[in-house]
């Protein structure tokens, strides 16, 4: 990890230099941030670090610490490590592989940073803009700097790819345990506990709220409720859950049929094949939208083949019917943030290309390039709210309503892997880790 991190930091330094030259500034002060208090309360939300801080200093627990970078000299860490008997104070990671890459200053008090900060010709990067003003900064989160940093972050260094790869292992172990808990008759709540136990992560460490959905609950795309009671009957199970490694996220989904011989199981298997087929096709230079569109054509074919819609696949696609069954995007960039930055940003100047009107939920409009890490997560759902408008449409008679209604009890299917774009195609980090673990 040491040499990968040294290379990573060299890339970061070049990016910082580029940003500073463009914005005509001398340095960046990056603040890690602090946990947010609840309204009128003395309790706090779990701490979520400023991802730009984590990008430079890979310790997601470095609450209230600061970094100073000028793109040339050794970066400086101002690590906040107070004496505290109420809370576990952040522990300076001085014995890690990255410690020696920084000059160190320990802060015993968060306000002590004021003694060190020289705000002239420097930018502040962080959430606490009022404090930055009070500290004398006049360049606070300048767009020019953020655009350069965000664009650079969409091309992962080998260090970052290693972290994203490591995060696959814990998540896969969790998925394996969760699948067994489902088959053992456990409730969503109990399955979530099995997942957390196997990953050794708490609800506060996982990169997003675990989606643990049995039966029709899997038709709610971001279902995070966790029923405590097991269902009377079980038909299907969808788990969308990840883990983090040094702040880098995995984002994996698997769907299961309770009856492995059912037609629903065959549909799950087809979706798995489609996901792998699109991953096989990924190539540098092609736009992410083209793969999303391709998936809609394939799902249109499934709608025809499984007799959900009695029309030819190309007509199903042209009429927009596949958008009812696959209403989200094919995936997104993945990194320190689950829906990582710059999915729409086309260059370091910040040119924005929005999702097309037909696919407003698409989170990536980028041309694929080496080093990008993306999720590929096709879905197929039976969502009442989206199906209903078709009931009064001229094409209503082509829908096999009886079969569609029968399938509502399954909710839906999503399958999601994490891939890195290489010069000659995509490397499937999830499949590679699953093979190492010998689980699927
Ligand atoms: N877990 C959220 C997503 O897959 O985008
Ligand atoms: Mn997901
Ligand atoms: Mn995802």
Is residue 416 a contact partner of residue 331, using CB atoms and an 8 Å limit?
Answer: yes
Q: Is 208 in the pocket of ligand 1 (CB under 6 A)?
A: yes
> Which residues lie near ion ligand 3 (Cβ < 5 Å)?
251, 375
Q: Name the pLDDT band for 282 (thresholds 50, 70, 90).
A: very high
Cβ(101) – ligand 1 distance below 6 Å: no
Give residue 416 CA to ligand 3 midpoint distance, Å: 7
Ligand 1 atom nearest the C-alpha of 416 is 4
Q: What is the position in ligand 1's atom list of the atom closest to the CA of 332?
A: 5
What are the CB-based long-range contacts (under 8 Å, 24+) for 404-409? Answer: 404/308, 407/264, 407/308, 407/382, 408/216, 408/219, 408/382, 408/384, 409/215, 409/216, 409/235, 409/236
Write out the binding residues for Mn(2+).
240, 251, 332, 377, 416
Higher-scoring residue by pLDDT: 87, 375 = 375
**Are residues 176 and 434 in contact, defined by beta-carbon separation less than 8 angstroms?**
no
Above 80 in pLDDT, residue 307? yes
Mean pLDDT (the chain, rounded): 97
Measured between alpha carbons, how far is 65 from 380 in angstroms, rounded to an integer?
Answer: 44
Could you tell me the distance, in angstroms and rounded to a whole number, from the CA of residue 358 to the centre of ligand 2? Answer: 22
pLDDT of residue 337: 98
Neighbour order of strands in the sheet with 27-31: 103-107, 76-80, 66-69, 27-31, 122-125, 139-140
Q: Is residue 46 pLDDT above 70, yes or no?
A: yes
Pairing relationship of beta strands 379-381 and 373-376 according to DSSP bridges: unpaired
CB 361 within 8 A of CB 328: yes
Nearest ligand 1 atom to alpha carbon 253 = 4
Cα 343 to ligand 1 centre (Å):
14
Is there an atom of ligand 1 within 6 Å of 417 CB?
A: no
Ligand 1 in reach of 340 Cβ (< 6 A): no
Nearest to 363 by CA among 251, 268, 255, 273: 251
Tell me the pLDDT tens digit for each residue of 398-435. 999 999 999 999 999 999 999 999 999 999 999 999 99
Q: Tokens 């709210």 — which residue?
A: 385
Residue 174 CA to ligand 2 center (angstroms) comes to 14
Give yes or no for residue 377 CB within 6 A of ligand 1: yes
Q: Higher model confidence: residue 439 or residue 109? A: 109
Q: Are 234 and 206 in contact (CB under 8 A)?
A: no
Considering every ligand atom, which ligand is closest to the CA of 207?
A: 1
The whole-angstrom separation of Cα 218 and Cα 398 is: 25
DSSP 136: T
**Beta-carbon-side half-sphere exposure of residue 140 (alpha carbons within 13 Å):** 13
From the CA of 44, how far away is ligand 2's center (Å)? Answer: 26
CA distance 93 to 60: 11
Q: Which two tokens stand for residue 115?
A: 């003694």
CB 284 within 8 A of CB 370: yes
Q: If you search the block for the tokens 């990255």, which residue do you land on?
A: 98
Q: What is the torsion angle, in degrees rounded to the nearest 10, for the CA atoms of residue 156, residue 160, residue 166 and residue 172?
A: -40
pLDDT at 40: 97
The model's pTM is 0.97
CB of 246 closer than 8 Å to CB of 61: no
Mark the binding-site residues, compressed into ranges.
Answer: 240, 251, 332, 377, 416
Residue 209: name the closest of 248, 245, 242, 167 by CA: 242
| Cβ contacts of 148 within 8 Å, gap of 6 or more | 15, 18, 19, 22, 348
- Token pair, residue 25, equals 């500034």
% of residues, the chain, pLDDT over 90: 98
Give 83-119 as a DSSP string. --SSS-PPPP-TTSTTGGGSEEEEESSGGGGGGT---
- 180-206 pLDDT tens trace: 999 999 999 999 999 999 999 999 989
Give how far the C-alpha of residue 123 lies from the chain's centroid of Cα atoms, to the nearest Å: 27
Tell me, using a 6 A CB cutoff, whether residue 251 lines ligand 1: yes
Compute the distance between CA of residue 72 and CA of residue 402 in angstroms, rounded to an integer: 67
Using the mean position of ligand 2's atoms as its centre, give its distance from the Cα of residue 331 in Å. 9
Residue nearest to ligand 1 atom 3, measured at CA: 251
How far apart, in whole angstroms, are the C-alpha atoms of residue 408 and residue 235?
10
Whether pLDDT at 440 is above 90: no
Q: For ligand 1, what atom is nearest to the CA of residue 328?
A: 5
**pLDDT over 90 (residue 439):** no
Rounded Cα–Cα distance for residues 311 and 288 (Å): 27
pLDDT, one tens digit per residue, over 194-248 is: 999 999 999 998 999 999 999 999 999 999 999 999 999 999 999 999 999 999 9
pLDDT in tens, 91-111: 999 999 999 999 999 999 999
Residues 6+ apart with CB under 8 A from 189: 226, 227, 228
Q: Which two tokens stand for residue 277?
A: 């087929």
Query: Measuring from atom 4 of ligand 1, which residue has the nearest CA?
Result: 251
Q: Does ligand 1 lie within 6 Å of residue 97's CB atom? A: no
Separation of first and last alpha carbons in the chain: 27
């Amino acid at each position: 990890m040491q040499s990968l991190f040294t290379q990573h930091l060299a890339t970061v330094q070049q990016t910082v230099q580029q940003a500073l030259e463009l914005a005509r500034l001398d340095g960046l002060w990056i603040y890690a941030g602090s946990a947010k208090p609840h309204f009128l309360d003395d309790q706090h939300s779990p701490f979520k670090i400023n991802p730009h801080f984590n990008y430079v200093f890979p310790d997601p627990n470095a609450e209230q610490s600061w970094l100073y970078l000028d793109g040339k000299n050794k970066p400086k860490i101002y690590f906040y490590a107070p004496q505290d008997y109420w809370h576990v104070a952040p522990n300076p990671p001085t014995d890690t592989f990255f410690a020696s890459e920084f000059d160190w200053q320990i802060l015993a008090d968060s306000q002590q940073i004021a003694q060190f900060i020289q705000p002239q010709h420097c930018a502040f990067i962080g959430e606490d803009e009022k404090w930055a003003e009070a500290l004398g900064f006049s360049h606070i989160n300048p767009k020019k700097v953020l655009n350069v940093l965000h664009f650079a972050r969409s091309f992962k260094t080998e260090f970052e790819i290693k972290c994203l790869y490591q995060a696959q292992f814990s998540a896969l172990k969790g998925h394996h345990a969760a699948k067994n808990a489902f088959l053992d008759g456990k409730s969503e709540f109990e399955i979530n506990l099995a997942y957390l136990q196997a990953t050794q992560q708490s609800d506060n460490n996982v990169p997003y709220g675990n989606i643990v959905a049995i039966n029709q609950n899997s038709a709610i795309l971001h279902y995070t409720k966790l029923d405590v009671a097991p269902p009377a009957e079980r038909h299907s199970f969808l788990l969308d859950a990840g883990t983090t490694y040094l702040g880098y996220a995995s984002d994996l989904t698997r769907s299961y049929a309770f009856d492995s011989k059912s037609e629903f199981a065959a549909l799950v298997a087809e979706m798995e094949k489609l996901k792998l087929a699109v991953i096989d096709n990924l190539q540098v230079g092609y736009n992410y939208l083209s793969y999303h569109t391709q998936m809609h054509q394939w799902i249109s074919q499934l709608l025809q083949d499984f007799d959900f819609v009695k029309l030819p696949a190309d007509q199903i696609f042209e009429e927009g019917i596949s958008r009812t069954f696959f209403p989200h995007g094919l995936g997104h960039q993945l990194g320190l943030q689950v829906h990582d930055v710059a999915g729409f940003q086309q260059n370091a100047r910040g040119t924005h290309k929005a999702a097309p009107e037909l696919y407003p939920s698409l989170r990536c409009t980028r041309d694929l390039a080496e080093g990008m890490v993306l999720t590929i997560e096709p879905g197929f759902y039976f969502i009442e709210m989206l199906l209903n408008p078709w009931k009064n449409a001229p094409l209503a008679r082509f829908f096999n309503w009886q079969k569609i209604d029968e399938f509502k009890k399954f909710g839906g299917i999503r399958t999601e892997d994490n891939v890195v774009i290489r010069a000659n195609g995509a490397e499937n980090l999830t499949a590679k880790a699953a093979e190492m673990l010998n689980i699927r």
